[in-house]
Structure formats: C-alpha cells, structure tokens
Amino acid sequence: MHKKDLSLLVLILVVGAVVGFINPRFLLAGNLSNTANQIGLFGIFSIAEAFVIIIGGIELSVGSVIALLSVLFIDLIVNHDVNWVVSFSMIVAGGLVIGVMHGLLATKMHIQPFVVTLCGLLIYRGAARYYTEDATAGFGFGASFPMLEWLTAGRTNVFGFPLPHSVVALFIVTAVAWVVLHRSVFGRYLYAVGKNEEAARYSGIRSDRVVITAYIICGGLTAFAAILIAMYTRSISPAVHGSFYELYAIAAAVLGGCSLRGGEGSIFGVVLGTILLQVLQNLVNLLGIPSSLNFAVMGTVILIGVLADQYLVQRRRRAVTAKGRLQANIAGPQLERASAE
C-alpha cells in the first residue's frame, strides 16, 4: 500500500473515531450498513472516473450518464418487460458505446476531453428528461424482480452485520481494477500514457487505443453503477438523478492521489477517497451540522487534503533535486556543448 493511501486511511479512522465519540449512533450497525451501501455505489463510478483521470483525461458526464441509463433500465424492465439479464447487458453495452464515442472524439477528433464530456453531460441529461417527459420513472405496484433486487440492493447478514451487496460489487470491481491497473500490461500503458504520452508513443505504445479503452472502461463501469443506483433508489426523477455525481467521482479520485495531469493514483486511494467523502456526509447528518453545509464541508476537506499533499510533494521534490545535484557533482563537470553555445 502506498504511503499516501496509508495516510488517507489514518485520516478516515481518525474522523470516524471522532464522530463515533461525539455521536455513538455513527457506530450502529444500521448506520454503518447504510454508509457502506453509499460507499459501494459511489465507489464503482469513482473507479470508473479514475481510469480516465489516470490517462490524463476527464469525464464530466458521469452523473448524466447515470440518469439516462437508469431511466432506460427501469423503462426496459418495467414498461417493456424485457428480461432483466438482457436489460442489464443492454445498459452496460450502452455505457460502453458512450465510452467509445468519448474516446474517439478525444483522440481522433482532437477535442479536449473536458469539452467532449461537458457536452455529454448536457446531452445525456437532456435526453433522459425528454425520454420520460420529465416524469419520475419507477416501479409500479406489484412490479417485482426478487432476484434482481436481491442481487443489487439486497443485504446479506455477515456475523450480524447487514452487508449491502453494493459493497460486494465494489469489492469485486476494486479487485479486478487493482489487477488491471497495478499488475497488467494495460495498466502500465495507462500510467505511461498519462505520465508522458510522447515517451509512451516512442516506446511503441499505441496511445490512442489506450486512451479510448480507458473511456470504454469508464463508460461500462458507470453503466453498472447506474443499474445498482437505480435499483437502490427505485424512483428516478431524470432532472436531478445523479447530478453532481461526476464531482463526487473526481473528488474521490483526487483525494485518492490521482493528479488531473494524469499518470498518478491508485485504486486503493480512490476507494479510500470515496469512503472519506461518504463518512463526511454521514458526519454532517449525525453531528447536527445543517445539511445545507454538506458540500461546503466536503470542499473544505478536499482543499485541505490537496494542500497538504502539495506540501509533501514539494518537500520530496526538493530532496530529489538536492540528491541529483549531489550526484552531478560526483560525476564531475558535465555540460553539453549545445547549452554552452
């Protein structure tokens, strides 16, 4: 585990302990289970976002994609009686297609990812609202999908703790993403492209493909999260469903050590970032802080976190240059003719 991740974990434990001390209800199984469920749902699309941030891109349409795909999913299984397995596959495929489009626009058409996905944010939100004529999509009376509901929104009792299945899903996604990012060739390519695309290209990496694949993974995972969230909330008003979720995702990634310049970040970090954000939300509720301050608290914590990180990075950089200078002195005078000219 990274040093950065470790300090984040410590921070979470400290915040948790303080909240638990002030308001013991924080530690009740019910509260922890609900917070865990939120972590499971938000963690999946935060990991999705992290893939794109690591290659140096950005995905702003996460919330709108969740709204659109949730609406479509409910519509498929409730109104069109499509088998839920088929619907599930169709929605995930939809997410993958969105990823392909964003990736192609960002690489082959050379449009900045911020712009591409900002347009996506507007388009998908509008599409979701138009599709349902701004009405809330939900399950009617009697509509019941016991298997699907149990799988997505159910909880299993583990040693007396109601473990939400969204957490299980996050666990699986985390494990797979960890292997992909930190152990596979493709993961190496993701980091290489994010750190220095030119050097990656000179090393024979087809950087466009890597970038497009990152957006595809992001789209697919976002679609998966959309289904889980739809099954958890059960009613979706397309105008607000999932709004600001992209910002939660970016915040979690940044807290978890991702740099918006790309090439940095770890899967554990992103998950820990999500946990911290959700614990903070819970803290606002439990400590009687006006819920209108919710975002302000999150913003403040992220800012402090990033400032602290910046401070540490600069200190390390100073140490590195000092070391470099020392080595240069040992190696003796070395000056290129070109710079001397």
Partner 1 sequence: MEGAFAPSRFSAASGGAVNPRMSEPFLELVDISKIYPGVVALDHVSFSLSPGEVIGLVGENGAGKSTLMRVLGGVVEPSGGIIRIDGVERRSLTVADAINGGIAFVHQELNLFDNLDVAANVFIGREPVYGGALKLVDRKRLYAQVRPLLERLAVDFEPDAPLAELSLAQRQLVEIIKALSLDARLVIMDEPTSSLTLTETGRLMRVIAGLKADGVSVIFITHRLNEVKQCADRAVVLRDGHMVGSLTRAELTPAEMIRLMIGRDLKSLYIPPEAPPGESVLEIAKVVTQTYPDRAVSLSLRRGEILGLAGLVGSGRTELARAVFGVDPLRGGSIKLDGEPIRITTPRAAIDHGIYLIPEDRKSSGLLLDVSIAQNISLPDLASYLRYWLVDTKCEIENACRQRERLNIRAPDVATTVDSLSGGNQQKVVLAKWLSMRPRVLIFDEPTRGIDVGAKQEIYDMLRRLTDAGVAILMISSDMEEVIGVSDRIAVMHEGAISGFLDRSQFSEHNVLQLAVGHKV
By CB under 8 A, is residue 142 in contact with partner 1? no
By CB under 8 A, is residue 331 in contact with partner 1? yes
Q: In the Cβ-directed half-sphere of 162, how many Cα atoms lie within 13 Å?
A: 13
Angle at the Cα of 17 (from 15 to 19), degrees rounded to 5? 70
Nearer to partner 1, 146 or 333 (CB): 333
By CB under 8 A, is residue 110 in contact with partner 1? no
Token reading at 207: 């950087």
By CB under 8 A, is residue 183 in contact with partner 1? yes
By CB under 8 A, is residue 7 in contact with partner 1? no
By CB under 8 A, is residue 327 in contact with partner 1? yes
What is residue 49's three-state secondary structure?
helix
- Of 241, 243, 238, 244, the residue nearest 136 (C-alpha): 238
Q: Which of 142, 204, 288, 290 binds partner 1 (CB under 8 A)?
A: 204
Report the alpha-carbon distance of residue 47 to residue 218 in Å, rounded: 8
Q: Which of 11, 54, 177, 205 binds partner 1 (CB under 8 A)?
A: 205
Token reading at 310: 């910046």
Q: How many residues does the chain have?
A: 341
Nearer to partner 1, 133 or 198 (CB): 198
Could you tell me if 245 and 258 are in contact, meaning their C-beta atoms sit under 8 angstroms apart? Answer: no
Could you tell me if 76 and 87 are in contact, meaning their C-beta atoms sit under 8 angstroms apart? Answer: yes
By CB under 8 A, is residue 337 in contact with partner 1? yes
Nearer to partner 1, 291 or 321 (CB): 321
By CB under 8 A, is residue 306 in contact with partner 1? no
What is residue 326's three-state secondary structure?
helix
By CB under 8 A, is residue 260 in contact with partner 1? no
Q: Which of 33, 119, 195, 243 binds partner 1 (CB under 8 A)?
A: 195
Report the alpha-carbon distance of residue 43 to residue 303 in Å, rounded: 20
Could you tell me if 262 and 53 are in contact, meaning their C-beta atoms sit under 8 angstroms apart? Answer: yes
Nearer to partner 1, 51 or 191 (CB): 191
Question: Candidates 42-50, 147-155, 166-174, 176-184 — which segment interacts with partner 1 by CB under 8 A?
Answer: 176-184
Amino acid at 293: L
By CB under 8 A, is residue 143 in contact with partner 1? no
* Interface ranges with partner 1 (CB under 8 A): 179, 183-185, 188-189, 191-192, 195-196, 198-206, 263, 320, 323-324, 327-328, 331-341
